[in-house]
Structure 1
Amino acid sequence: MSEEIVNKVALSGLLTLDLEDYYPREEIVLFDLKPYLFMVNVRKTGPPGNVARFPETSNDGPSDNEPEARSGILREKDFRAALNELDWTRFQDKIVAVTCSVDAIIPLWAYMLVAVNLQPFARDIVMGDENTARQQTFLARIAAIDIQEFADKRVIVKGCGDLSVGGFAYLEVAKRLRPIVKSIMYGEACSNVPVYKKK
């Protein structure tokens, strides 16, 4: 006589939440404002240096005429013209990280111009580098989880997956789960670490 196999995990009332389901797998591309800058040479004495289109480099090494500092500025007319020439479709369905990789004077409206051009194409637009974009998108997806399905349940937040899920994600999901669940555990049903139990 065959013995019926009982799924003890299913009968225990445990719900598993796998953070990898919310991990951003889309391509993340960088939109760097650096190529749109003009560089200003600032010297200690004498008149301001020339303004030159970035990048402008020299392989001659330092000299007595080298500027004390270089700071980038963004010119509205040139910036608008450059944005109008871009093929924005290359950002279709991508997560775009908007940043400036050099010291520069960036007016706040410049970020708005980039955003309104990207919005029809990009899946998401984030201020910062690629890692920042991945983290912010991840957190936004955790924030969008319908947490009510875990109300009064025992929840295991799955660990040891294939992806490198940062601690920030576990912190955020625990913060969201704690007010409504019976208990929170980390790991697997067969081996877990208790995190919280409602008293």
Structure 2
Amino acid sequence: MADLLTNRVAVSGIVTLKLEEHWPRQAFATFDLKDYLFMELILKEKDFRAAVKDHDFSQYEDKILLVFCSADAIIPNWAYMLVAAAATPYAADIYQGTEAEFLRQHYRKVIQNLDPENFVDKRVVIKGCGERTIPASAYLDVTTHLQPHVKSLMFGEPCSTVPVYKKPRVAASK
């Protein structure tokens, strides 16, 4: 009689959470206000309004538009408002900041929306490697969000994990 192979990972009851699956679906586009500064220092309202009016915002159709200034300049808040007003009919989302900043906020929101009830007393592995670089802050956020609910929390792959947290055993009363 042939011995049956058992996939111990499959029958272990481990839940794998793949943060990469929550990567934004839309492509990113950037709008750097530095390109509209006079001498890379000053934003002139009249010139900026004209530039925004002439800019083809349709190129941001269904994209996440990241609006920021890569120069060390003081940008008035109304400048961001003008860009947002012009881009809103086209962009899927508009964010003031860089891609890294957007991803930190995006993942924080994703993790806050995870229902902890789905993880109560479960052994959970947070998948650690993939094709995209997930912000380190997402791993911090998922740990603090799930730890009060899980039996254990691990990082990596179900077949090779790094233990992060294990719920203490409650001693039986005598």
Say if 2:29 is the partner of 1:29. yes
Alignment coverage as a number of residue pairs: 168
1:18 aligns with 2:25: no
Q: Distance in 2 between matches of 1:161 and 1:35?
A: 35
Q: Measure how far apart 1:134 and its partner are.
A: 3.5
Is the 1:20–1:165 Cα contact (8 Å) retained in structure 2?
yes
Residues 155 and 72 of structure 1: CA distance in aligned 2, closer, same or farther (over 3 Å) = same
SS in 1 for 2:141: helix
Report the secondary structure of 2:10's partner residue.
Answer: helix
Over aligned residue pairs, what C-alpha RMSD do you find? 2.5
Gaps of 5+ in 1: 40-53, 55-70
Aligned residue number for residue 171 of structure 2: none
The 3 A distance-change label for structure 1 pair 92 and 138 is farther
Q: Which residue of 2 aligns with 1:74?
A: 44
Larger Rg: 1
* Paired residue secondary structure (1:111): helix
Where do residues 40-189 of structure 1 align in structure 2 (5 Å cutoff)? 71-75=41-45, 77-189=46-158
Taking the aligned partners of 2:98 and 2:158, their CA distance within structure 1 comes to 36
Aligned-pair CA distance for 1:195: 0.9
Q: Could you give the per-residue CA deviations for residues 22-44 of structure 1, whole angstroms, max 9, x where no partner exists? A: 234642222011233334xxxxx
- With over 3 angstroms needed to count, the CA separation of the structure-2 counterparts of 1:179 and 1:74, relative to structure 1, is farther
2:76 partner letter = P
* TM-score between the two structures when normalised by the length of structure 1: 0.71
Post-superposition CA distance 1:51-106 (Å, at most 9, x none): xxx7xxxxxxxxxxxxxxxx31331x433333233222211122222111223332
What is the distance in 2 between the residues matched to 1:161 and 1:107?
39
Cα drift, residue 196 of structure 1? 0.9
Given the superposition, is the C-alpha separation of residues 107 and 153 from structure 1 closer, same or farther in structure 2, using an over 3 Å criterion?
A: same
Given the superposition, is the C-alpha separation of residues 120 and 176 from structure 1 closer, same or farther in structure 2, using an over 3 Å criterion?
farther
- Give the TM-score normalised by structure 2: 0.79
| 1:20 counterpart letter in structure 2 | E
Distance 1:31 1:12 in 2: 48
Paired AA for residue 35 in structure 1: D
Percent of pairs with identical residues: 49
Gaps of 5+ in 2: 169-174
- With 102-111 and 174-183 compared, the bigger mean Cα shift is at 102-111
Question: Per the alignment, do residues 89 and 140 of structure 1 end up closer, same or farther by CA in structure 2, a change over 3 Å counting?
Answer: farther
